[in-house]
Amino acid sequence: MLNDRYLLRVAIGAAAFDAPGLCLEAGLDTHDRHPPGQDQAIARRYGFSHAVLAGQPHCMMYADHWRVSAGAILVWHREQFG
């Protein structure tokens, strides 16, 4: 869905989300897939937290170091919900 949103084929209003969220940015992602600043802009638009995982590839949950991504989600969740 978000990939279609990037191409402006699906409209998603900022009011669509009424819950905290986390936008993780893969530091090793390619600019053709995620232009610089895109993930941070998405987080800002929807009021989400944003974090860059410098050594992670695009498919960060399937990568060798998936625990780094899972750890970032866990830390964020604990900060949000205790």
Residue-wise pLDDT for 33-81, tens only, equals: 778 888 898 899 889 999 999 999 988 888 889 999 999 999 999 999 9
11 has a pLDDT exceeding 80: no
pLDDT at 14 over 90: no
Structure tokens at 68: 């780094």
Instruction: Report domain extents, the chain.
Output: 2-81
Question: What average pLDDT does this structure show over 27-37?
Answer: 86
Stated pTM of the model: 0.79
pLDDT at 76: 97
Instruction: Kindly state the average pLDDT of the residues 21-41.
Output: 88
